[in-house]
Amino acid sequence: MSEQRQLRLPNGLRVTLIHQPDARQAAALAQVAAGSHDEPERWPGLAHLLEHLLFSDSAAYQGNDRLMPWVQAAGGRLNATTLTRSSAWFFEVEPGLLAEGVTRLADMLAAPQFTPEAIAQESAVIDAEYQLIQQHTPSRREAALFTRVSAPSAFQRFHIGSRQAFGADSGALKQALHQFHQQFFHTGQISLWLQGPQSLDELAQLALRVSQSLPQGGEREPQAAAPGFVADADIALHTQGHGQLWISAYLRGDIDAIRDGVTLLREFLQDEAPGGAMASLRQRRWAQQLEVKWLCLDRAGGWLALQFDTDHPDAVCAWFSHALRALATTSPQQQRHYLHLAQQRFAALMPLDQLRERAFGFAPPAGAEGFMPLLRQLADAPQARLWSAASVQGEPVETQGFRLMLRAWRPVSVQDAPPALQFHPLAQPAAALTPPDARAPLLHLAADSAPATLLLRPDFFTALSPATAVGLDRQLRPLFALLRHQGGAAGWRESQGSWQLEAQLPSGCEAWLASLPDALRFPAKDRRAAPPDDVAIRELLRQLPQAVSITAGTGRWRAALHGGTAKQYAAVAQWLAPIVWDAGRPEQPERRGRQLIVDHPGKDSALLLFLPCPPAVPLAALRALALLMEPRFFQRMRVEQQIGYVVSCRYHRCADRDGILFALQSPDIAPDALLAQCHTFLQQLRIADDPQILESCRARLHALLAAPQEAVAAMQLALRRVGGLRDIDEASVAALTQTALHQAQTHLLNEWHSGVLLRTR
């Protein structure tokens, strides 16, 4: 059970501390109460540029000591975001490194250097990002909805930034950055969140220590201005791909209470169990997906958007009004039940993701008191609705750096009666079930521990097509939702290029297990091709597993159970017998190269190159080599040559094959030239005969092996070992030598032709 403490330090810094005793990672998030709507009109994109520049050199930390390379070298995660009225920087590392990371975070907030080289570099990166975002459908939808705001005018301005917007006067740009930083980056405007297994007192001492390095300043009067919508606030937008409907409303009042109510609303609306809100939309084929997003949050309130994947916007608009009326009849018991589901969903997140939800997302409240007032406000609040689809024929409108095809739109009334909605908990009559006589070959780890966790995955070296994975996802979602209502949890996700089912099984879930084999039958082929991802590199990554695998999914599954009693194990093994059997050791894939050219509507060039680990190269040597390559590749391609927005070189496991993955996306350089750059980089890579470098690689690999292992990771590793697939261990890491690193580099160059290449045309 986590504990929380909120502080206001003497210098004005707001601090939220979360002690999470079982956390295996620790995280920090710093939020500044200034975003894109606070930047001067003369400098569109200034807040976004500052977000990027803070990761550059600061007074105390330069080069590889900066927060970004330091976190990457530690195997952690970090990112940043610029919102309308706030900006945030956040990272996650192992708990023992939290203090070092927070010290770096505070220094980059307090004392950025704004060197001319860094400003030029990040201006180029943002320009590439702007070109990328121009084709990004979600960003285009948001820009279209912003045209429905009559005031404030900030919603109509360009905020992404570009070379043209920043201009040629680097001195004036640097001065504007300094002024914006001095105006907002002080303790009266900053909030700090810290979360980890450390005690609240330890976290408080850390917050107090780093706060002393931050510039002091008082709290500014909030400049919040609630958006007002134009008279005809509904609009239609031409986009590629599937249709989507956004229903948005601005909610006024206590923002904490509003956010609490919306978190509970999201849990109700996304219920995919039979009879649930989302299930009713799917049953009528009115919508397939619903996401909830804050378009703007400030102290005056929040602009909320519900985003439906649908080809039936008129029906969904009518359904939403019906759903609000149905939710107004829910009992306190039902509200507590869905609140518990929201709390379970939140508890399953990593510390960094929890902090992001706390700062600007959907952290669950302690109670449901604000739910009914929220429903009443939603029913009466003015709405701005957006319908986007390929069928929309509009007129060109230039706005916020986009060229959008827009036209007026208004939903029409529908004659179909809305579906009845059911809310849990519901009485579930027990059914008489007869399990199969046979038993699946089910691997069992950590017997008699709790909880019982099931892992199901396709056979090794196979990959499900995107269409099959999506089809199975749709079949499984109602089953997963039912399990949540019974006290369990389940998910269908891609891990290392292989789709897998993970489920925590409560006692008494035999009816659920009995339904699982049918839900995992491969769906009939959908002849409609899924629309490509708006971002070229993400589309290539989506297609990579099929390019790397030796065959498509065969319907043969491998399974493991972590925890659970002997009785639970026997029940799972019996019910899975129709789909899980002993597949023996898999056939090893041939070492042959492959090239796939992907048509993509975007203007950027993109390239993925996967170099499989040669049989003669120890896996520990490949992974150590990747650790050396990753920061150097980024430095050369992103910093020195400014290839583009996407630059990556790292170890990657895909469809059970280990290798090095190069990923590049550029607005200016053709795929063939990008490929040549990768080859030149590997040729010119110099590995110094320095014992410290070798020891650093060993230490990082040992740390990976020493980290506590989650149940799913333990089952993945056990299944690989049973299948005869190799992995690193303590002995192979200890045996790592400088010669092995050089040989790994040589083998990769010699077997360059065995790589799997995906590129845009």
123 band by pLDDT with thresholds 50, 70 and 90: very high
Is the pLDDT at 529 greater than 80? The verdict is no
Give the residue-averaged pLDDT of 502-528: 89
Tens digits of per-residue pLDDT, 350-360? 999 999 999 99
CB atoms within 10 A of CB 396: 9
What burial letters (b/e) apply to 627-649, b meaning 16+ CB within 10 Å?
Answer: bbbbeebbebbbbeebbbbbbbb
- 531-581 pLDDT, tens per residue? 788 889 999 999 999 999 978 777 889 999 999 999 999 999 999 999 998
pLDDT of the residue at 432: 79
pLDDT band at 290 (very low <50, low <70, confident <90, very high): very high
Tokens representing residue 203 in the block: 């976290």
Residue 612 has pLDDT above 90, yes or no: yes
Please give the pLDDT value at position 74.
86
**What integer is the mean pLDDT of 282-293?**
96
Residue 588 is predicted with a pLDDT of: 80
Q: Which run of H or E residues covers position 282? A: helix 277-283
pLDDT interval class at 397 (50, 70, 90): very high
Annotated catalytic residue 122: no
Torsion, Cα 517 518 524 528, to 10 degrees, reads -90
Amino acid present at 175: Q
Q: Is the pLDDT of residue 224 over 70?
A: no
Dig out the tokens for 247 from the structure. Answer: 């229903």
State how beta strands 383-389 and 244-252 pair: antiparallel
Q: Quote the crossing angle between the two packed helices 116-133 and 170-184, to the nearest 10°.
A: 90
In terms of Cα–Cα distance, which of 232, 251, 491, 548 is closest to 376?
Answer: 251
* Alpha carbon distances (Å) from 324 to 132, 190, 283, 329, 378: 38, 37, 19, 9, 8
Quick one: which of 374, 280, 385, 284 has its CA closest to 327?
374
Domains 3-211 and 242-389 share a fold: yes
Contact criterion met (CB below 8 Å) for 227 and 250: yes
**pLDDT confidence of residue 567:** 94
pLDDT of res. 472: 94
Name residue, tokens 């299930």.
279
pLDDT(406) > 70? yes
- 461: which 2 tokens? 């070296």
Tokens of 336: 């507590």
Output the average pLDDT for the chain.
94
Share of residues in the chain with pLDDT > 70 (%) = 99
Tokens of 268: 């109700």
- How confident is the model at residue 528, as a pLDDT? 58
The model's confidence at residue 756, banded by pLDDT at 50, 70 and 90, is: very high
Range in 241-250, 551-560, 646-655, 659-668 with the lowest mean pLDDT: 551-560
Contact residues for 113 (Cβ-Cβ < 8 A; gap 6+): 56, 57, 58, 59, 62
> Other CB atoms closer than 10 Å to residue 416's CB: what's the count?
12
Q: Is the pLDDT of residue 525 over 90?
A: no
CATH superfamily of 594-760: Metalloenzyme, LuxS/M16 peptidase-like (3.30.830.10)
More confident position, 241 or 269? 269
CATH topology assigned to domain 3-211: Cytochrome Bc1 Complex; Chain A, domain 1 (3.30.830)
The confidence band for 527, taking pLDDT boundaries of 50, 70 and 90, is low
The answer, yes or no, to whether residue 162 has pLDDT greater than 90, is yes
User: Percentage of the chain with pLDDT > 90?
Assistant: 86
What are the residue ranges spanned by the domains of the chain?
A: 3-211, 242-389, 594-760
Query: What amino acid occupies position 68?
Result: M
- pLDDT above 90 for 304: yes
The whole-number pLDDT of residue 496 equals 93
* Tens-place pLDDT, residues 447-490: 999 999 999 999 999 999 988 999 999 999 999 999 999 999 99
pLDDT at residue 493 above 80?
yes
Of 255, 331, 340, 241, the C-alpha closest to 298 is 255
CA-to-CA separations, 252 to 43, 155, 246, 384, 385, in angstroms, rounded:
30, 18, 19, 15, 18
For residue 222, cis peptide bond before it (omega within 30 degrees of 0):
no
In the predicted model, what is the mean pLDDT of residues 17-34? 96
The CA angle 321-326-329, to the nearest 5 degrees, is 135
Question: How many CB atoms sit inside 10 A of residue 176's CB?
Answer: 20
What percentage of the chain's residues is helix, strand, coil (to nearest 5)? 40, 20, 35
Phi and psi at residue 452, in whole multiples of 5°?
-80, 120
pLDDT of 221 > 80? The answer is no
Model confidence at 270: pLDDT above 90:
yes
Q: What is the pLDDT of residue 703?
A: 86
Q: Which of 58-67, 248-257, 584-593 has the lowest mean pLDDT?
A: 584-593
> Any idea which residue has 């007074």 for tokens?
59
Which residue out of 51, 92, 142, 630 is catalytically annotated? Answer: 51
Q: Specify the higher pLDDT residue, 553 or 694.
A: 694
Looking at residue 532, what is its pLDDT? 83
Please calculate the CA angle 307-312-317 and round it to the nearest 5 degrees.
60
Fold of 242-389: Cytochrome Bc1 Complex; Chain A, domain 1 (3.30.830)
- Return the pLDDT at 222: 63
